[in-house]
Structure 1
Amino acid sequence: MNEMTTITTTLKDWETDQEVRWCPGCGDYAILKAVQRTLPQLGADPAKTVFVSGIGCSSRFPYYVESYGFHTIHGRAPAFATGMKLANPELDIWLVTGDGDGLSIGGNHLLHALRRNVNMQIMLFNNEIYGLTKGQYSPTSRLGTSSPSTPGGSVDRPVQPCAFALGVGARFVARGFDVSKNLPDVLKAAHAHKGAAFVEIFQNCIVYNKDVFHDFAAPKGAEDQQLWLQHGEPMLFANGTKGLARDVQNMTLKVVDVVDGDWEAAGVKRHDVTNRALAHMLVELPFGPFPMALGVIYDDPRPTYEDAVLDQDVKSREGKVADLGKLLSKGQTWTVSGTAADPV
């Protein structure tokens, strides 16, 4: 596979002439702008960039990015994206999905794109609700969520998207939220990863699930509840006054106080993006007692699906001559003789 050729663009080059139509105040606006700001910094080529989506509020995304785009069918965007990558590995594919589209009807397809490790960036917008169909509870809705489909409160235990991704074999897992200034850095890291890069983006649904992430994702005032992870750096939060240490007795993590900036004395651990066990612990930390783990949680590449398929194809053709007639006559064949005028 050839390396992508970088070109010079600006944010304006990635904006379409389409009217952006989400509810006023929707977090999707901020995510769209973050992506449009990031693409020029990546040196991305609009002629080789494809945005693929399924169905849902987030799935309007391809209309608003000046590149190739496919608004496909409910939950099946990963299958379309996989086919595109196999047909033309030079395409830079961004898959846009939501918690309903990607984890309900599309859970099976998302699973296979991740376990196969198809080289694409997968952005899952998580607002913990079905927005497009007017506020029913979704696979990620919390216990007790009151909605038109759960008037007595949801009794389903919610899916944790990053835990799902790790569980099915994803090699890159990250988190961000719509209005975060750090979201472009998360997207850049996902793009740099060769393979299926899964990014959960917490997104505020202003109409049906307003401020559900306010405790850690408010535009201002929630910084103390955010743990922004960086490889090799101590896992500190609350302006460096708290950190995560290993709880040896329970084989998990615990919150510790950091006095006078001495995080080593407090036992705070450094983040290691290649440590799969640590990644599992981070994505399943209960919010409240713990901060929300954000940034790149896991990044440990392996060979991609399309490289393996194309390599296999090349090897299968070595030393062979293309002969369609021979291929068609191979196996059990028979010849029908006579003419239409002959009696049956």
Structure 2
Amino acid sequence: MNEMTRIAPRAETTIKDWETDQEVRWCPGCGDYAILKAMQRTMPELGADPANTVFVSGIGCSSRFPYYMETYGFHTIHGRAPAIATGLKLANPELDVWIITGDGDALSIGGNHTMHLLRRNLDCQILLFNNEIYGLTKGQYSPTSREGTRSPSTPYGSVDHPANPCAFALGSGARFVARSIDVHKNLPDQLKAAYAHKGAAFVEIFQNCIVYNKDVFGDFTEKKNAALSQLWLTHGQPMLFGADKDGGGAKGIAVDHATLTLRVVDVADGDWQAAGVIVHDITNRAVAHMLVEMPFGPFPMALGVIYDDPRPTLEVAVHAQIQAATRGKVPDLQKLVSKGQTWVVEPDGFAH
């Protein structure tokens, strides 16, 4: 069996098997509702087994997620979900482990843990809900908040340069990086692709905080703007966007070979090859870096599976090492305890 391909027995479930009896408690209109429902609808299609699935979260609005999935779950402490998930997966590599986190949870106090989980390539799915704000603690600016963001902690506007979650993931060595939108019909496709990937799968989901950062992503999430502002990537297909991809209104992404940068080109009469539009290759790490760094405005927002190139996972390597180290040996706890210097405490209270 190829260790980089997920092969597991299929379980026959329905959406009801994944819904708990807990009251879902987020603010009315919160994007988390859409993500939760997309997850509950997708799990039966994956053939996943609730008894073999674990959702791990840290602290934040998104971190209530485990309460609403009828699986095992851990609501842990701020930023430490990756550490808990690592322990779970090493103890039982057969578990399906999902990490639910937010931009503040994963990239501030949890940045170090997130980085190491990605570089170690633990087999799990990381869903980062990015609303560019601290919602649970009443609207302070977060690591992804844009410059100029006014909040209780930055009343005159943030002067911080924001973190780019997908660039952070790629820079940390992630082998799978995707982007999606909370209410978009394509979100289940990214969830399925992340689950199919054997290794650490990182998915950034743009999530609308209806209270503290409403419509911050509206420039590219609203339907009226979507055609020219969203670049949905498909492996083996040209990078096209626009109102009429097959006609005269198409645009595409090409490489400027003089500067080794990306640029937007117009596509005449559907002839994307003549316009120099490049074909998406999910294994091309260099282009993936350029796609996640494209500045929105002059460029569309790159969405879908941006990078997917598996490699052996941490838990496989750890267990192979354990097997090699213990092969042919008989466990003897007493021998281990007695190894080296020992002391005996006598009745007089002195050690000899």
* Range class of TM-score, shorter chain: over 0.9
Partner of 2:147: 143
Partner of 2:187: 183
Q: Deviations over 1:82-123 (max 9, x none)?
A: 000011111100100000000000001101110000000000
Distance in 1, matches of 2:52 and 2:9, equals: 9
Q: CA RMSD in A?
A: 1.5
Q: How far is 1:220 from its partner?
A: 5.2
Residue 341 to residue 158, structure 1, CA distance change in 2 (3 Å): closer
Q: Secondary structure at the match of 2:173?
A: coil
Q: Secondary structure at the match of 1:242?
A: strand
Distance in 1, matches of 2:347 and 2:171, equals: 62
Partner of 2:336: 327
Partner of 1:206: 210
Partner of 1:122: 126
Summarize the alignment of residues 15-94 of structure 1 with structure 2, pairs less than 5 Å apart: 15-94=19-98
Distance in 1, matches of 2:22 and 2:143, equals: 31
Q: How far is 1:332 from its partner?
A: 2.2
Q: How far is 1:333 from its partner?
A: 2.1
Distance in 2, matches of 1:217 and 1:194, equals: 30
Distance in 2, matches of 1:90 and 1:232, equals: 32
| Structure 1 stretches lacking a partner, 5+ long | none
Could you tell me which of 305, 325, 336 is aligned with 1:296?
A: 305
Distance in 1, matches of 2:342 and 2:307, equals: 53
Q: How many residues align?
A: 342
Q: Deviations over 1:62-89 (max 9, x none)?
A: 0011111110000000000000001111
Alignment of 1:309 with 2:321, yes or no, is no
Contact (CA 8 Å) 1:179, 1:219: kept in 2 or not?
Answer: no
Q: How far is 1:11 from its partner?
A: 1.1
Distance in 2, matches of 1:191 and 1:224, equals: 29
Distance in 1, matches of 2:332 and 2:16, equals: 50
Q: How far is 1:219 from its partner?
A: 4.8
Distance in 2, matches of 1:303 and 1:94, equals: 19
Identity of counterpart residues, as a percentage? Answer: 74
TM-score (norm. length: structure 1): 0.97
Residue 232 to residue 55, structure 1, CA distance change in 2 (3 Å): same
Alignment of 1:261 with 2:270, yes or no, is yes
Q: Secondary structure at the match of 2:190?
A: helix
Could you tell me which of 107, 117, 121 is aligned with 2:111?
A: 107
Q: Deviations over 1:307-339 (max 9, x none)?
A: 000000001001111111110111222344x43
Distance in 1, matches of 2:29 and 2:84, equals: 31
Q: How far is 1:52 from its partner?
A: 0.4
| Structure 2 stretches lacking a partner, 5+ long | none
Distance in 2, matches of 1:281 and 1:54, equals: 30
Alignment of 1:283 with 2:283, yes or no, is no
TM-score (norm. length: structure 2): 0.95
Q: Secondary structure at the match of 1:150?
A: coil
Q: How far is 1:250 from its partner?
A: 1.3
Summarize the alignment of residues 217-296 of structure 1 with structure 2, pairs less than 5 Å apart: 217-219=221-223, 221-238=225-242, 239-240=244-245, 241-296=250-305
Distance in 1, matches of 2:256 and 2:39, equals: 38
Residue 256 to residue 341, structure 1, CA distance change in 2 (3 Å): closer
